[in-house]
Amino acid sequence: METELPELFRRQSEATGHSYTFHSARATLKNVTREELLAMAAKAADCATAVSDADVDVIAYACLVAVMAQGPGAHDSAEAIIARAAEENGHPAEVTSSAGALVRTLADLGVRRVAMVTPYMKPLTKLVSEYIEGAGIEVLDAVSLEVADNLAVGCLNPDNLPGIARDLKLEGAEAIILSACVQMPSLRAVETVEKELGLPVITAATATTYEILKALGHQPAITGAGSLLAGTATTLVGLRS
* C-alpha dihedral sign at 218, 207, 37, 3: negative
Task: Give the count of beta carbons closer than 10 Å to the beta carbon of residue 92.
Answer: 15
63 part of the active site = yes
Task: Give the count of beta carbons closer than 10 Å to the beta carbon of residue 17.
Answer: 7
181 part of the active site = yes
- Give the three-class secondary structure for 56: coil
Of the candidates 40, 63, 127, 143, the residue annotated as catalytic is 63
Q: Give the integer Cα–Cα distance in Å for 201 and 193.
A: 7
Report the candidate in 107, 104, 139, 109 with the shortest Cα–Cα distance to residue 125: 139
Report the candidate in 45, 10, 44, 5 with the shortest Cα–Cα distance to residue 23: 5
Collect all residues with Cβ–Cβ distance below 8 Å to 10 and sequence separation of at least 6.
none
Of the candidates 5, 132, 181, 197, the residue annotated as catalytic is 181
Q: How many residues does the chain have?
A: 241
Report the candidate in 231, 226, 224, 234 with the shortest Cα–Cα distance to residue 201: 226
Which residues are the active-site residues? 63, 181
